[in-house]
């Protein structure tokens, strides 16, 4: 079970770190996406956009530093909110961007919803496995980093990979 915990911690931390890192340099564009899709005033959208980035970075920190349960809980809350937001966009604003990477280049899609569900399952499995209090060595975490990062990259680009099967 220790490998499962390490894998899900690294996977989720990578996903949220990359997501926050992509939003920061394009913060105004990300805020604009929120204004357009949720029809919120600029000030409120700015607060919400800031909250998203801070929450993603907080989640990365608690996934790495602990406690693990808080990292998994935070992951599930964010993934639930992001998934609800994606479904909102798909139903109310077809073709609109979700701002997932901070920019308006990528339109929301059902593939992104599926990606979030996969990540939520990873968070639940990691949370359940972490409740067994198995301590992992540093070498175990180092061993699991590469596969978890590759899985994270694959999931971040899941939309693009699905084009191979169309």
Segment 62-113, tens digit of pLDDT: 998 988 889 999 999 999 999 998 898 899 888 887 777 666 677 788 888 9
**pLDDT band at residue 165, thresholds of 50, 70 and 90?**
low
Q: What is the pTM (predicted TM-score) of this model? A: 0.82
Per-residue b or e along 99-128, where b marks 16 or more CB atoms closer than 10 Å to that residue's CB: bbbbbbeeebbeebbbbbeebbebbebbbe
Residue 135's pLDDT is what? Answer: 63
- Which residues, in sequence order, are bridge partners of residue 107? 97
pLDDT for 142 equals 72
Mean predicted confidence (pLDDT) in 117-139 = 79
Nearest C-alpha neighbor of 126 from the set 79, 82, 63 = 63
pLDDT tens digits, one per residue of 53-64:
999 999 999 998
User: Which pLDDT does position 134 carry in this prediction?
Assistant: 57
Cα 91 from Cα 83, distance rounded (Å): 12
Range of the domain at 73: 2-165
pLDDT at residue number 1:
52
Q: Which residues pair with 97 in a beta bridge?
A: 107
Residue 126: per-residue pLDDT: 85
Total count of domains within the chain: 1
- 164 or 127: whose pLDDT is higher? 127
């Amino acid at each position: 079970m220790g490998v499962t915990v390490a894998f899900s911690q690294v996977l989720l931390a990578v996903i949220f770190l990359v997501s926050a890192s992509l939003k920061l340099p394009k913060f105004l564009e990300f805020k604009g996406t929120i204004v357009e899709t949720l029809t919120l005033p600029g000030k409120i959208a700015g607060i919400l956009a800031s909250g998203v980035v801070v929450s993603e970075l907080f989640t990365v920190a608690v996934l790495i530093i602990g406690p693990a349960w808080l990292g998994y809980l935070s992951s599930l809350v964010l993934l639930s909110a992001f998934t609800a937001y994606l479904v909102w966009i798909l139903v109310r604003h077809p073709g609109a961007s979700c701002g997932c990477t901070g920019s308006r280049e990528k339109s929301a899609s059902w593939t992104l919803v599926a990606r979030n569900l996969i990540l939520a399952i990873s968070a639940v499995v990691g949370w359940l496995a972490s409740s067994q209090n198995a301590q992992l060595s540093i070498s175990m975490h180092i061993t699991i980093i590469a596969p978890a990062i590759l899985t994270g990259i694959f999931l971040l680009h899941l939309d693009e990979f699905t084009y191979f099967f169309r």
